[in-house]
Chains A and B, each alone.
Chain A
């Protein structure tokens, strides 16, 4: 069993839709969570970082963490064709130093006109 599970998709939605992307994790030591966006053949771009249960909002993006269920989500409101990319969830442990990140496989999102 992978430490971080993520549905690979692809997920296709019409422009303007609300998108929900999800990951589950198994290791209780994971304490902080990130979402990255990766365009084809590019490096991952950090979208959201959070370390506590609850919601964090940044523009059209909302990250949600439920540590009791080991479940993390990213919501994208008013989705645009430019949001078409692979979305990676990542997590790490607080070790006093910058920890290694453990990633999900990524969900490929296609926003259609």
Chain B
């Protein structure tokens, strides 16, 4: 049973560029959440998708946007990258209203 997968593993971008990160949830899961984890910090909630709609959103600017596809996979898009966007981006999945969230390995984004 495949767990949560994310791609790419690493990414290097320059300021002002745009980036798209991808996530496939654990088999049977329909809800995807995205988190940003800066070095030495705990993950911070960005937003959550369910039934292809954004259901909850954390305190992140509109430069952060997302999408969920009919197969429950999801994308995170970040526009106009800033140096401060450098972090590990984590995707977590769960099924329906279950509280336990299972994380993928993350995508490490470096903005130069």
Contact = CB atoms under 8 A, between A and B. Distances in A.
Interface string B13-39: 000000000000000000101010000
Interface size class of B (residues with CB under 8 A): 20 to 34
Contacts, number: 75
Nearest to A42: B105
B43 A103 contact: yes
B42 A103 contact: yes
A101 interface: yes
Interface in B77-109: 88, 90, 92, 94, 96-106, 108
Interface string A79-110: 00000000010101010111111111110000
A100 B45 contact: yes
Nearest to A6: B42
A51 B99 contact: yes
A103 B50 CA distance: 21
Contacts of A44: 43, 90, 103
Nearest to B46: A100
A34 B40 contact: no
A43 B99 contact: no
A100 B41 contact: no
A61 B6 CA distance: 29
B71 interface: no
A41 B94 contact: no
A100 B103 contact: no
B50 A46 contact: no
10 contacts: A6-B42, A43-B103, A44-B90, A45-B103, A90-B42, A98-B33, A98-B101, A100-B45, A102-B45, A105-B41
Given A43-B4, A97-B50, 8 more contacts: A42-B105, A97-B56, A98-B96, A99-B56, A100-B48, A100-B58, A101-B43, A101-B45
Interface of A: 4, 6, 8, 32, 34, 36, 41-46, 49, 51, 88, 90, 92, 94, 96-106
